[in-house]
Structure 1
Amino acid sequence: RRAASQALAAVRIDAAAGQLLHRLGAAAEQDRQALGMALSGVLARSHDASLVARVKQTLVSTRETERDALIEALGRMHVAAAGRLLAQLAKRPQRDDRRKVAEALAGHPAEVQVLIDLLRDADPGVRANAAWSLGKQRAGAALPALSKAAHDIEVTVAGNAVVALGQVAANDPQRNDANRVLCRALDDYRPYVRAGALTGLRQLHRGCKPQLVLRLARHDDHWRVRLAAADLLHQLASAAPPSQRRPYALALRHCVQEERHAAVAARCETPLQVPSAQEDVVVFVIPTAQTSTQPRAPFALVLADGRMRLGVADRRGIVFEANAPAGSLSLAVPAALAR
């Protein structure tokens, strides 16, 4: 069924979307997840605005798990009507709907204000997805809200916000303000926030006081922080004038020789190669010692460019990542368990 859904997802015929919408409401339970995945792929290739009305009608009568597939499909549609419908769904009382909407709105830059509003949602899963989606949209209007979210009490929100802050501020005149927020986040007590702040600085092409980054690279208790610091050290070394590269080169050499975690030592020796190609990715979150996806499972998704997305899976146990850098993906220990 999954293979068939992947094949159908590549179809570029709008009529297929109508057939899949009809089948989604009438199919047996074991077929619905595959149909939802196929529908998401088909609608991603459609520019037929009339299909948005069909999706809206289907949303009224579908079960919760199928709703996630339909909301995901709206996020992948490149028509303004789909974005407007998502903006309406963002006001729904069901937090699961709002979580998925916050993820899906990454594909609709015209609805950036809706995402900024969702950053104030009572549910941390909604806020975490909104922060991540704002990073993809790279709208300067989101900088104040992301700067505030970097201090959120929930680690998933703060961790996503510092990564997004670096993405959004990279080409914005307010990048100095973002740089200060990210440098302060390097002292956060939560390791995934510190790692995310280092990643944000790398995307911003900025550093902090050299001794602060060097200290994290050598002495931080969590290996993912040291890994992110190694990535930033490589960038700072390549950007610095020859007369100022020595501290970074020495730190990387010490890491190669003395680092206790193999992945960090390897990264210190060989810089991360960021892929240029992108692809849409569906991730099935299967917790350790289990054999199937778990609804609303906490996750930490590490992308091929070193960014780490935090949050909870949808009602199907699935995470959708639009325009992910092509390359390896991995699931790390969820943020709440990171020590």
Structure 2
Amino acid sequence: MKPDRELAKKLDAIVQGTLVDGRAQTEALVASVVSAGGTSEQELIRMLGDSSLDPELRADICWLIPRLELDGAEKLLEPLMAEPSDKLREEAAVGLGLVAQDTSIEVLLKAMEQDASRSVRRAALHALGIFSPPRAAPHVMKLLLDPNEDEETRADAAEALAHFRHEGIVEVLIDQLRDASAKVRYSAAYSLGQQGDGTAIEPLREISLRDHAATPWGSVSSSARNALDELERRDA
């Protein structure tokens, strides 16, 4: 079973556009979808909406949809945020972030704040960070500052704020350099580097000299040093 010419060209572009380390995995995903019958864009759309199919297969198709750059892809993905499969909702959320349409903001905010699955909530948060719509910023900041949230989700929120443009973000991130969680501090430092605001230089310099707490991604001090380097590059 082979995809039609138009789809084959797009699928090959997706594979070739994948980083080398993940290319074999992408090739396997594409082969699995095609062997299951996904031989045209129309058939992929039909399979995506077929609730009788394996949720894992539909999640793989969901991964492809935004990368195929289909017109109106958000209309295919938004209804999937009500599916029972956590994996499918996760992929739909990230896909909506990649498609980056304002019509999806409320859907993603609802998932970020209310979904029963922590992994889906984090996927929605990641999606909002991808296209950073300004009106979502207060909601992401609220989540970051919520003491009842777990530290991984709050760290994700700090990272998601990296490219938002909204009043108060830099001040909130600077405050989070003193958070009890090293993961939150690490992500806050990273986002301050991306924000490019010079008011963060001194707080970041202080953290770079004294906060050597470890995280899965490196020390907080290393994140602060990288952020300072980023700010210096921008000034140059």
Q: What is the TM-score of this pair, normalised by structure 2?
A: 0.74
Instruction: Trace 1:211-290 onto structure 2 (pairs within 5 A).
Output: 211-220=202-211, 221-222=213-214, 223-237=218-232
Q: Return the offset for 1:168.
A: 1.7
**What residue identity is the alignment partner of 1:129?**
A
Instruction: Trace 1:11-30 onto structure 2 (pairs within 5 A).
Output: 13-14=6-7
- The CA distance in 2 between the partners of 1:109 and 1:63, in whole Å, is 27
Instruction: Trace 1:30-49 onto structure 2 (pairs within 5 A).
Output: 36-38=29-31
- Pairing 1:115–2:115 present: no
* Residue aligning to 1:100: 91
Offset from partner CA, 1:22-62 (integer Å, 9 cap, x none): xxxxxxxxxxx965334779xxxx9x8634532335x4232
- Pairing 1:131–2:94 present: no
Distance 1:207 1:150, change over 3 A: farther
Note if contact 2:112-2:121 (Cα within 8 Å) is conserved in structure 1: yes
* Residue aligning to 1:91: 82
Instruction: Trace 1:303-314 onto structure 2 (pairs within 5 A).
Output: none
Any gaps of 5 or more consecutive residues in structure 1?
1-7, 18-32, 242-339
- Pairing 1:53–2:45 present: yes
- The CA distance in 2 between the partners of 1:55 and 1:77, in whole Å, is 15
* Residue aligning to 1:194: 185
RMSD (CA atoms):
3.2
Please state whether the residue corresponding to 2:168 is helix, strand or coil.
helix
Distance 1:141 1:51, change over 3 A: farther
- The CA distance in 2 between the partners of 1:185 and 1:140, in whole Å, is 20
**What residue identity is the alignment partner of 1:71?**
C
Note if contact 2:7-2:41 (Cα within 8 Å) is conserved in structure 1: no
Offset from partner CA, 1:254-273 (integer Å, 9 cap, x none): xxxxxxxxxxxxxxxxxxxx
Q: Return the offset for 1:15.
A: 6.8
Note if contact 1:52-1:82 (Cα within 8 Å) is conserved in structure 2: no
- The CA distance in 2 between the partners of 1:16 and 1:60, in whole Å, is 28
- The CA distance in 2 between the partners of 1:35 and 1:234, in whole Å, is 39
Note if contact 2:163-2:195 (Cα within 8 Å) is conserved in structure 1: yes
* Residue aligning to 1:63: 54
Instruction: Trace 1:159-174 onto structure 2 (pairs within 5 A).
Output: 159-169=155-165, 174=166
**What residue identity is the alignment partner of 1:165?**
L
- The CA distance in 2 between the partners of 1:40 and 1:199, in whole Å, is 37
Relative to total residues, which structure has the larger strand share, 1 or 2?
1
- The CA distance in 2 between the partners of 1:114 and 1:129, in whole Å, is 12
**What residue identity is the alignment partner of 1:216?**
I
Any gaps of 5 or more consecutive residues in structure 2?
11-25
Note if contact 1:74-1:83 (Cα within 8 Å) is conserved in structure 2: no
- Pairing 1:79–2:70 present: yes
Q: Return the offset for 1:228.
A: 0.9
Larger radius of gyration: 1
- The CA distance in 2 between the partners of 1:15 and 1:212, in whole Å, is 51
Distance 1:201 1:55, change over 3 A: same
Alignment identity in percent? Answer: 22
* Residue aligning to 2:23: none
Note if contact 2:74-2:99 (Cα within 8 Å) is conserved in structure 1: yes
> Aligned pairs, how many?
207
Note if contact 1:75-1:106 (Cα within 8 Å) is conserved in structure 2: no
Note if contact 2:112-2:125 (Cα within 8 Å) is conserved in structure 1: yes
Relative to total residues, which structure has the larger helix share, 1 or 2?
2
* Residue aligning to 1:141: 135
**What residue identity is the alignment partner of 2:158?**
V
